[in-house]
Amino acid sequence: MIDNITYDGSVRGHRRAEHRLRARVRTVAEAYALLAPSLAGFLLFLVAPIFGVAALSLFDWNLMGAPSFVGLDNYRELAADPEVWRAVLNTIYYVVLNIPAQTVLALLLALALNRRMRGGKALRVVFVLPWMAMPVALGIIWSWVFDPRYGVVNQVLGTVGIDGPNWLTDPAWAMPVIASVNVWQYTGYTMLILLAGLQAIPHTLYEAAAIDGTTPVQRFFTITLPLLRPSLFFVLVTNTIGSFQIFDTVFVMTQGGPGGATDVLNFHIYQQGFQLFRSGYASALAMVLFALILLVTAAQFLYFRKRTVYDFS
Amino acid sequence: MKRTPITRIALYLVLFAGAVVSVAPYLMTLNSAFKEPAQVLTTPAWQPAFPVTFDNFAQVWSEYDMAGFLLHSLIYAGVVTAGQVVFSTMAAYAFGRMSFPGRDALFWGYLATMMVPQIVTLVPLFLIMREFGLIDTYLGLILPTAFGTPYGIFLVRQYFRTIPRDLESAARIDGAGTLTVLVRVLLPLSRPILATLATITFITTWNTLLWPLIVTNGDATRVVTLGISALKGQYSSQYHLILAAAALALLPLIVIFLLFQRHIVRSIALTGLK
C-alpha cells in the first residue's frame, strides 16, 4: 500500500515491471489452460500412436503375451510378399483411376458454372449433395446399381442390346466400379473449390487478352490454367492423400476380391492387424503407406513449386 | 466473352446432366425402398414405386435393431461434435489470439499431423484403449476425436484471426477476463464457422466405419455404418431390405445438409483459397 503513495520513479518502474510479469505469467497459464484438453488428446491419441506405430513395426506381436523384437524383419517380409506388392499396385491403380477423372470433370463443371446464371446457387448445392453421403451406404447402393441382373447399369445397357459384365465379380471391372463411387462423391466438392479459384481470377485479364485477339482456348491455357494452379494444387494434394486411404467401399462391396483385384493397402493392413492379429507386421505396412503418401505429396510439391504463380490478389 | 445460343444450350445440358447424376442414386434408392420386394427386382429403378409400401422400413426396423444403430450413431456423432466444437474453440483462441512460449512450434505440430493417414494410428490406438479397458465402450469410441482435431482447430483459428482485435481490447478495458472475452465477444461473432465445424464433424463421424469396426464388437455399441454393412453381408441380394436400411442411414445426413447447406457450400469454397 505504501508503494501507492511513493512517487519515487525507480520504485514505480519496479512495480510496473512486476505487474507486467505477473500479467504475462497469467496469460501463459490461461493459454495453456485453454489448450489443455486438445493438447492432451493430441499427445495421447495422435502423437503417441504415430511414434508407437514406428516402434511396433520392429516387433512381432499377436497382441497376446510379450512382443518380441525382430528388428527390420517385418520390412524384409513385406518386401518379399507378392500380396503386398499387389496391394501397393492396386492402391496406385485406384488413385490413378480416381484423381484425373474427378479433377477433369470438376474443372469442366466449374468452368460451366463460372458465370452469372439463373439457378447457379441451387446447382452448387445439388453438386455438393454426393459429398456428404456415407461411403458404406454408397457401397450398398453401388452394389445394387452394378448388380449383373437387377442393376440399373446392365438394365440400361440391355435396352441398347449390350450384355453387361458381372461388374463386381469381374477382376477387370471391380476396381473401376469402386473408383466410380469416389468420383461420384467428390467431383462436386472438387468443383466447388476450383470454382472459388476461378472466381478469384481478375476479369480484366480476360478482357485485355480478348482485345489482343486471343481465342478462348488460348485464354484458357495462358490465363485460366496458370492462375488456377494454387487451387488445382490444393485439390490434387488433398484428394490424392484421401484416395490412398480408400477402405469403406472396398470393405462393403468386395472385401478385397475378386481374387485380390481390389485388395488395397488400407484393407490389407486392416486384415493383417485386426483379423490375423499381426500387429507388428500391420504397423510396418502402415509405415509403407505413410511413406508412399509422403513420397507422392513431395513429388506434387516439387512439380507445382516450379510452375505455380502464387499471390495474384 | 461472346456466347452463341448453341454453346449456351450445351452448357446447360452439361450442368443438367451433372445435376441428374448427382441426385439419381439418392432418388433411385429411396424409390426402390418404397417398392414391394418382388418389384425391386422386376421393375427398373427409375420406375416410380407403385403401390407404395412401408413394409421394408418396418421390417428393418423390427427384425434388425435399426433404431439401435441410429441411436448409437447419434450418441457417437453427437458427443464427438460437442467435444470438437468446445475444445477446438478453446484451443483456437489460444493459438489465434494469445502469445505464449511454444505456440508456433505446437501449431506446426498440429498441422503436420494432418498429413498422417488414419490407419497409421489405429494399431497403437487400439492398444491404448485396450490398456485402459475401453474396448467396446462408448468412451473408447469417442475419446480419440472428442478433444478437437487439428482440422477443427485450424478452421476456427483462421476465422478468429479475421475478427478485429479492437472489439476484444474494448472488452478487456471494461475488465473482462479471457473466458468472458471468448464467450461474450468472439463466440457470438463466430456462429457461421462453428455451425460449419459442427455440421462437418457430425457428418464425418456419422459416416465413420473403420474406428468403430476396430474398437467395438457388441450390440450395445453397434453404430449404423457397422449395422448396415453387416446387413449387406448377410442379405446381399435382398435389395428391398438393404436399400431401405441405406436410405435410413442417409436420411439424417440429408436433413442436416439441407439445413446447413449455405455454410457448407461456403466453407468448402474457402478451403482452397487459404
Residue B104, classed as helix, strand or coil, is helix
Please report residues of A whose CB lies closer than 8 A to that of B150.
42, 46
Question: What's the CA gap between B19 and A241, in Å, rounded?
Answer: 27
Q: Which three cell numbers stand for residue B10?
A: 450445351
pLDDT at B181: 85
User: Which pLDDT score, from 0 to 100, does residue B191 have?
Assistant: 87
- Closest C-alpha to A137, from B34, B202, B45, B227: B227
Cβ–Cβ gap B91/A270 under 8 Å: no
Chain A residue closest in CA terms to B233: A252
Please report the pLDDT score of residue A101 as a whole number.
95
Tell me which residues of chain A have a pLDDT lower than 50: 1-7, 310-313
> How does pLDDT run across B178-218, given as a tens digit for each residue?
888 888 888 888 888 898 899 989 999 999 999 999 999 98
- Looking at the partner chain, which of A32, A130, A196 has a beta carbon nearest the beta carbon of B22? A130
Task: Determine the angle formed by the axes of helices A174-199 and A120-128, rounding to 10 degrees.
Answer: 140
Share above pLDDT 70 across residues of chain B, in percent, rounded to a whole number? 97
**pLDDT recorded at residue B1:** 47
Taking an 8 Å cut-off on Cβ atoms, the answer to whether A134 and B249 are in contact is yes
Domains along chain B with CATH numbers: 30-271 (1.10.3720.10)
Q: What is the 3-state secondary structure (H, E, C) of A220-239?
A: HHHHHHHHHHHHHHHHHHHH
Answer for the pair B250, A134: CB distance below 8 angstroms, yes or no: yes
Give A125's contacts in chain B (Cβ within 8 Å): 261, 265
Of B106, B118, B206, the CB nearest to A245: B118
Choose among B46, B99, B264: nearest Cβ to A128. B264
Q: Do A293 and B115 touch (CB under 8 A)?
A: yes
Which residues of chain A lie closer than 8 angstroms to B18, CB-CB? 109, 127
- Write the CA distances from B59 to A300, B40, B62, B160, B242, integer angstroms: 50, 15, 5, 49, 11
pLDDT at A97: 95
pLDDT single digits (tens) B143-157: 999 999 998 999 899
Inter-chain CB pairs, A–B, below 8 Å: 270
- Contact (CB, 8 A) for A247 and A286: no
Cis peptide before A258 (omega within 30 of 0): yes
A156: enclosing H helix or E strand: helix A152-159
Mutate to test the interface with A, among B26, B120, B240 (most CBs of A within 10 A): B120
B91 to chain A: which residues are within 8 Å by CB? 34-35, 37-39
pLDDT number for residue A311? 45
Cβ distance A244 to B117 less than 8 Å, yes or no, reads: yes
Helices (H), chain B: 5-33, 37-42, 55-63, 66-97, 103-113, 118-131, 138-146, 150-160, 165-173, 178-180, 187-189, 191-207, 210-215, 224-234, 239-271
Nearest chain B alpha carbon to A158: B44
Other beta carbons within 10 Å of A62: 12
- Mean pLDDT, chain B, rounded, equals 88
State how far the Cα of A57 lies from the Cα of B52, in Å rounded to an integer. Answer: 55
Q: Which residues contact B156 (CB under 8 A, 6 or more apart)?
A: B88, B89, B92, B96, B190, B193, B194, B197
Which of A278-287, B233-242, B254-263 has maximum average pLDDT?
Answer: A278-287
The residue behind cell 439463373 is A118
Q: How close is the nearest chain B Cα to the Cα of A237, in Å?
A: 10
How does pLDDT run across B111-161, given as a tens digit for each residue? Answer: 888 888 888 999 999 999 999 999 999 999 999 999 999 989 998 998 888
Percent of chain B clearing pLDDT 90 (strictly above)? 41
Q: Which of A25, A30, A32, A46 to mutate to test the interface with B (most CBs of B within 10 A)?
A: A46
pLDDT at A313 (0 to 100): 35
Q: Which of A160-164, A172-176, B71-75, B234-238 has the lowest mean pLDDT?
A: B234-238
Kindly provide the residue ranges of all beta strands, DSSP E only, lying in chain A, ordered along the sequence: 59-60, 68-69
CA B8 to CA B6: how far, in whole Å?
5
User: Helix, strand or coil for residue A200?
Assistant: coil
| Res B42 pLDDT > 70 | yes
Most confident listed range (B82-86, B106-110, B171-175, B260-264)? B82-86
Which chain A residues are within 8 Å of B93, Cβ to Cβ?
34
Closest chain A residue by Cα to residue B150: A42
pLDDT at position A286 is: 94
CB nearest to B232's CB, from A32, A132, A140: A140
Nearest residue, CB atoms, B272 vs list A47, A133, A231: A231
Indicate the DSSP class of residue A2: G
